[in-house]
A and B are shown apart, each in its own frame.
Chain A
Amino acid sequence: MLKGKSILEPMDMTTAELEEIFDLADEIIANPPRFAHACDGKLLATLFYEPSTRTRFSFEAAMLRLGGQVIGFSEPNSSSVAKGESIADTIRTIACYADIAVMRHPKEGAPRVAANSTDMPVINAGDGGHQHPTQTLTDLLTIRRRKGGFENLTVGLCGDLKFGRTVHSLIKALSRYAGVKFVLISPEELRVPDYVRRGVLEANNIPFREVKKMQEVLPELDVLYMTRVQRERFFNEDDYIRLKDRYILDAEKMQLANENMMVLHPLPRVNEIAVEVDSDPRALYFEQAKNGMFVRMALIMKLLGIEVE
C-alpha cells in the first residue's frame, strides 16, 4: 500500500508496488487527458535546497498535468532556511499547507529527517551522493518499456559510481530481480561505496565485476548506464579534473556494443556521451527524461491514494 508513504530510497517500494506504478505510468502515457484532473485541489510542495532542472521541472510538470498545484522554493536562500531553520521545522510548517512534498538536499539523509518529522508523504528527489529513487523509477520504466522486464539483464554502470546517487539507487532496485548481473566500470577512486558493494551486492550474492575499461565489456551489456563525474561532490578540484574525462562514449565505441543495448544517462551530461551518439537508436536518455514526468505522475497519484475511473 503506497498511500501515505514516504519514498526515500527504492527499497521503500516492493517489486509489486513498482509494477503498479509502471502499469499506471503506461496508462498515463497512453492517454494523458484521462488523468488531467486526477489531482484537482491537491498541492505539491517542492523543497529544492540544491539546483535541479530535470527533477524539479518534471515533478512540477507532473503535478500540473494531473490538475494539481505547486508551491515551493528552488533556492534555499530565498526561504527561512537562510535564517537557520531546521529541516524538521521547515517540513512541519509546509505540512500545514501541502498534501505531499518533494525534497532535494545536498546532505545525505535529509529527506529521512523530513519524513520522520511529518505524516505527509515526502519524496526524496536526491540527497547528496546517496539516493535518488525517482530517477530509478524513470530508469526502470524506460528499461521495462524496451525490454519487457528486468530479469537476466547484464547492466553496466560507468563513471562516478562513488557519488552517483542514481547508481546506488538503481543497483539497490535491480538487486531484487533474478539473474541480474552488474559490471561496474570506474576508476579506483570512484568505485561504489561500501554500503552498496557489501550491503547490497555481496549481501545478496549478486554477481558483479569491477573493471576500469569500458571497451572490453561493451559487447556483453544489455544496458549501459553512463554517469557524469560530478564536480560539486569533490572536496578537491584537482581530483575532479584528473577524473572527469576518463570515460567518453562515442560512435566508435558504440560499434562494439550489441544491437539491442540500451544507453541510459540520468542527465545532465557534460561530455561523457559524445553528441554523435544521440542519433543512435540505442541512445535512450531523452526518452528516459520524458518517462520521468509520467512515472512521477503515477507515483504522486499512488502516494495520494488517487484512482481514476
Chain B
Amino acid sequence: MIVNSIERGIVIDHITAGTGNRILDYLKIDTKKNTIAFIMNATSKKHGRKDLIKIENVTDVDLTVLGLLDPNATVNIIENGKIVKKINLELPKTVTNVIKCKNPRCVTSVERNAPHIFHLMDAQTREYRCEYCDEIVSMKNE
C-alpha cells in the first residue's frame, strides 16, 4: 500500500503492529477535523510488521504518552516536506488516565472522578507507582 508523503505534520513510524489504534486514541486527535493516514500491519524490514500514523498539518500534539505505549516507535516532525525534528521517546515521569489502578483497596476503585495518576518509579523495569495507594505496575509487557 502506498500513502503519499506529507508536506507538514507528524509521522509516527515503526509502531508495534496492533498498538496503532490505542496510540491514536490516547493522542486525542480530532479525527473529524484532521487528515490522518493510519496503516495497520504494513510490512517492515526491521520488525516484520508495523503500524504507521501520519497526521497532516498538526505538529503540536502531546506525545508524552507515546514513550509509555510504544517505546519502539519513531516520531518525525515534517515541515515543507522535510524532516525538521526527530523526537526521542522517553518514559513519561507522570501519566494521567493511561494506566488504571487494579488494587481493589485503592480509592480510585470507589471515587468516580479521581484521575488515575501514576509516577515513574524505575525506568529500567518500566514500573510505575499509583499516586494514591503506591501500587506498583510494570509496563514491561504492556
Which residues of A pack against B, CB within 8 Å?
86-88, 105-110, 112-113, 127-130, 193-195, 198-199
The residue from A86, A105, A128, A199 contacting B129, defined by CB atoms under 8 A apart: A199
Chain B positions 101-116 with a Cβ under 8 Å from a chain A Cβ: 103, 105-114
Interface status of B131 (Cβ within 8 A of chain A)? yes
Cβ B107 vs Cβ A107 within 8 A: yes
Chain B positions 70-120 with a Cβ under 8 Å from a chain A Cβ: 103, 105-114
How long is the Cα–Cα vector from A87 to B112 in the complex, in angstroms?
10
The 5 closest A-B pairs by CB, nearest first: A109-B132, A108-B133, A195-B134, A107-B107, A109-B107
Cβ B136 vs Cβ A194 within 8 A: yes
Which chain B residue has the least Cβ–Cβ distance from A110?
B107
Known: A87-B107, A108-B134, A109-B132. 8 other contacts (CB 8 A): A107-B111, A109-B131, A109-B133, A110-B107, A113-B132, A130-B133, A193-B134, A199-B134
Cβ B105 vs Cβ A107 within 8 A: yes
Cβ B110 vs Cβ A107 within 8 A: yes
Cβ A88 vs Cβ B109 within 8 A: no
Cβ A113 vs Cβ B107 within 8 A: yes
Interface status of B121 (Cβ within 8 A of chain A)? yes
How close is A40's CB to chain B, nearest CB, in angstroms? Answer: 35
Cβ A129 vs Cβ B114 within 8 A: no
How close is B134's CB to chain A, nearest CB, in angstroms? Answer: 4
When distances are taken between beta carbons in the complex, the residues of chain A under 8 Å from B131 are 109, 112
Which chain B residue has the least Cβ–Cβ distance from A200?
B134
The residue from B106, B112, B121 contacting A86, defined by CB atoms under 8 A apart: B112
How long is the Cα–Cα vector from A198 to B138 in the complex, in angstroms?
14
Cβ B112 vs Cβ A109 within 8 A: no
Which chain A residue has the least Cβ–Cβ distance from B127?
A198
How long is the Cα–Cα vector from A154 to B100 in the complex, in angstroms?
38
Interface status of B130 (Cβ within 8 A of chain A)? yes
When distances are taken between beta carbons in the complex, the residues of chain B under 8 Å from A127 are 107
When distances are taken between beta carbons in the complex, the residues of chain B under 8 Å from A112 are 107, 131-132
Which chain B residue has the least Cβ–Cβ distance from A130?
B133
Q: A88-B113, A113-B114 are in contact. Are A195 and B136 (CB under 8 A)?
A: yes
Cβ A113 vs Cβ B133 within 8 A: no
Interface status of B7 (Cβ within 8 A of chain A)? no
How long is the Cα–Cα vector from A88 to B111 in the complex, in angstroms?
8
How long is the Cα–Cα vector from A208 to B64 in the complex, in angstroms?
37
When distances are taken between beta carbons in the complex, the residues of chain B under 8 Å from A105 are 107
Cβ A86 vs Cβ B113 within 8 A: yes
Cβ B107 vs Cβ A86 within 8 A: no
How long is the Cα–Cα vector from A127 to B45 in the complex, in angstroms?
52
Interface centre among B106, B133, B135 (most CB of A within 10 A): B133
How long is the Cα–Cα vector from A87 to B109 in the complex, in angstroms?
12
The residue from B103, B129, B136 contacting A108, defined by CB atoms under 8 A apart: B103
Cβ B135 vs Cβ A86 within 8 A: no
When distances are taken between beta carbons in the complex, the residues of chain B under 8 Å from A107 are 105-107, 109-111
How close is A84's CB to chain B, nearest CB, in angstroms? Answer: 9
When distances are taken between beta carbons in the complex, the residues of chain A under 8 Å from B109 are 107
When distances are taken between beta carbons in the complex, the residues of chain A under 8 Å from B112 are 86
Cβ B130 vs Cβ A109 within 8 A: yes
Cβ A109 vs Cβ B136 within 8 A: no
Cβ A128 vs Cβ B111 within 8 A: no
How close is B69's CB to chain A, nearest CB, in angstroms? Answer: 24
Cβ A195 vs Cβ B111 within 8 A: no
Interface centre among B103, B131, B134 (most CB of A within 10 A): B134
Which chain A residue has the least Cβ–Cβ distance from B121?
A199
How close is B128's CB to chain A, nearest CB, in angstroms? Answer: 11
Cβ A86 vs Cβ B136 within 8 A: no
